[in-house]
Amino acid sequence: MIKIIFIEILLQDKYCLQSLQIHWNSEWFGGFSELLTGKEINYTDTDDFNTILRLSHVDLMQIQSTSMEYCIDKCLKMVQNATKHQDVVDSLIKLTGYINLYKCIKYNFIFENNILSLPWKESFDRFLNVIPSSQEDNELLQYLLEFLTNFAALYKEEGIECWISNFLKNETNPILTLLSNETIEDAESKILNKDLLQLITTCVTFEQHYLDLYGLNLICASSWTHLIEIIATNLKFNDSQHFYNLAYLDALLSCLVHLTASLGWVKNNKNDLSSRNLLVQLVTGLCEMIGAFHCGKGDSAVNSVMGLSITRHAVLILNHLLAEMQQSNINEWECCFIDEESGIEDNFYNLTSLWFCRDIVLRAGIFQLFAGLATSHKCAINIVQEYRRIRKADVWEIAINVLLDHEEANIIRENVAVFLTNLSSHIITISQESFTLDKAVTPYSQVLIVHVTYFYRVPNFTIFL
């Protein structure tokens, strides 16, 4: 009697009844996934199935529409079978909504199947392996790239290898030819290329490791080398008209920052001459770019913020290139910066002009670069010599004044301290008649150098400063 009353109470509650119907039908038809795949539910008269627990066609549609896996799979099938551009775009808009919803609720719900196991690659392959030939193709590819940029984050969170990264690493991929400057003819193409760069940047960022110096992931780093070469080739440093497309140029450099951040991409390049030429091309071009966006503004360069993002990216890339050269054990790597073919005089003038920039990040980055260059005996001598010749000033006094300025940012003072320490660590023959570091030091600087070198090597150096 009590059992009957309890059943009646459960059946009178519509929410309890719906839950019982779903669970009962799931067990009856072999699982919830089997229940979802059916277009309709057919009950036979011979089934020992309580009529109260039977689902109607409307009930089945409601269950399917509230299942994320089912809805996503349905959209992917629509993409695969679509014959019109708009059908694919509509499906991508729906998929974007489902992915955003999935990101919001995945920590609160347990999904029976991982949505990453669905046929994503098979659904989008045909759109990613052809060059767009019309405005409709451009718009469709733009929607797809925006979606993939948002979608790629799920692979990092789940710790699963991303097929999108593998696709972009394929050197024969025709879509990468879009990055060529010659293909940029209208506003739509510029937006499409920026979306492609954003997707590449997202995928590269997910593979970065902060302990590269201790355990290089050379396979991942070297697999992006072809993209570094493509971007370096299509930056066209010597084309002044190219600089006017600031948004696209900034996107190129931002992508290049992340591509060069992971160490090991030069070391695995078998053609050493090609690697050196690539490095020289990048160093020279980036220094020219700094000259165009910073030095070219004359006396107002110190206070100007125009092109600041581009200059920041250029300095970051130069730091990454220097780190790559040093860890790859490239012979005479300093020649990439100070060799005559690199235009050392212009390079040096452009780089030292950033010492007086008011942007903290930029100044910290440029002093970090000079600290790395100063580890080379040849570069150290060249820095002191060229600064005295071009700037008509003492590099030691300039750097030490920054170091002893307590109103200066700590990150800048720290990098200046490393820079001075590396400069003073080189052995110089006093009796040598040719130009050497000791002859570029004024008496005022000689006294300070002794104190700076001493206190930097003790634990309380920062307290002293």
State the DSSP code for 303: T
Min mean pLDDT across 160-169, 203-212, 240-249 is at: 240-249
The identity of residue 326, as a single letter, is: Q
Tell whether the model's pLDDT for residue 333 goes beyond 80.
yes
**34-49: b (≥16 Cβ within 10 Å) or e:** ebbeeeeeeeeeeeee
**What pLDDT score was predicted for residue 67?**
81
What pLDDT does 200 receive? 93
Interatomic CA distance for residues 244 and 241, integer angstroms: 6
- Per-residue pLDDT at 142: 93
Rounded CA-CA distance 43/269 in Å is 66
Could you give the CA distance from residue 437 to residue 426 in angstroms, rounded to a whole number? Answer: 9
Question: Sorting pLDDT into bands at 50, 70 and 90, what band is 76?
Answer: very high
Summarised one tens digit per residue, pLDDT across range 102-150 is 888 876 665 555 788 889 999 999 999 888 888 889 899 999 999 999 9
Report how far apart, in Å, the C-alpha atoms of 25 and of each of 49, 60, 61, 64 are. Answer: 9, 10, 14, 14
Spatial separation of the C-alpha atoms in residues 359 and 186, rounded to whole Å: 34
What amino acid is encoded at 429 in this protein?
A: T
Highest mean pLDDT among 14-28, 233-247, 266-280, 340-354: 14-28
Q: What is the mean pLDDT of residues 401-420?
A: 91
Quote the CA–CA distance of 128 and 148 in Å, as a whole number: 11
Say if CB 209 and CB 215 are below 8 A apart. yes
Tokens describing residue 400: 């030490």
Are 293 and 305 in contact by the 8 Å Cβ rule? The answer is no
Residue with tokens 């300070």: 448
State the average pLDDT over residues 52-70. 77
Q: How far apart are CA 150 and CA 98, in angstroms?
A: 11
Dist. CA 347–CA 340, nearest whole Å: 10
Average pLDDT over residues 437-465: 44
Q: Residue range 173-200: average pLDDT? A: 79
| Chain segment 218-231, per-residue pLDDT in tens | 445 558 888 988 88
- Mean pLDDT is lowest, of 13-17, 263-267, 354-358, 372-376, for 13-17
Comparison of pLDDT for 228 and 11, the residue scoring more: 228
CA gap 39, 186 in Å, rounded? 47
Residue 189 CA to residue 175 CA, distance in Å, equals 12
Averaged pLDDT of the chain = 77
Residue 402 pLDDT > 70: yes
Gap between the Cα atoms of 47 and 23, Å rounded? 17
Confidence of residue 303 (pLDDT cuts 50, 70, 90): low
pTM of the complete model: 0.80
The secondary structure element, H or E, covering residue 14 is: helix 14-28
163: confidence class by pLDDT, cuts 50, 70, 90: very high
Which has more pLDDT, 72 or 66?
72
Any residues with CB less than 8 A from the CB of 311 and at least 6 apart, and which? 289, 290, 293, 294, 354, 357, 362
